Structure 1
Amino acid sequence: MIKIVGKAEFLTSKSESHYNIYQRNARIEPFESQRLKDLDGKPHYIIACKFEILLEEDSDCKSKNDYVGKVKPFLDSLLDSSLILNTQNYSISQVDTTLKHITDFF
């Protein structure tokens, strides 16, 4: 398994509390939000969050850096109806495959 730790910013119409995500292979915790309004006056938010995700190893990826391109699609699958503005990956490491849950690290 590959563990990736980083930060992401995304645009959404849902409040920050909606995005505390704790799943078997992902943990996403918002730490900052900025409220905006669109042209119709509807509220939108830019939310910054830290993330820790576990990805299955892929034979197409020759090095750990090859997994960088898999982060955004993975986050897209968790952050429904959100537009990811950017991601920053701080750590990419290979972890034991017997891991049962991401919280086993903490």
Structure 2
Amino acid sequence: MANGNVKAGFEGAVKTPEGLSYKGVILQPVIDKCEGCARMMAFEDQNYCPSYPQPARKWALGVCNFATHAKVQVETQGKGKVNPLKASKRAAKGR
């Protein structure tokens, strides 16, 4: 029986002081950077990410790779690293 507060994905989840206990994993509430993500699911009065239990740590090093609302920007300005030996041969040829 599904409770009115629970989405189908969190059936059997229990709220604990540490977070939301779901299938033996403690889920932490989502952070403000997660707002707008399609993976986010509500349980009672808070939103949780079923893909990653600690959303704050996922965003610590940059963009979360599970985020459906954020795009990764690729740097296109630099050409990349050039081998110095090849560069000297090209310079000697006159390219």
Per the normalisation by structure 2, the TM-score is 0.23
- Between the two structures, name the one with larger relative contact order (CA 8 Å, sep ≥ 6): 1
Instruction: Decide which structure has greater strand share.
Output: 1
Which entry has the higher C-alpha Rg, 1 or 2?
A: 2
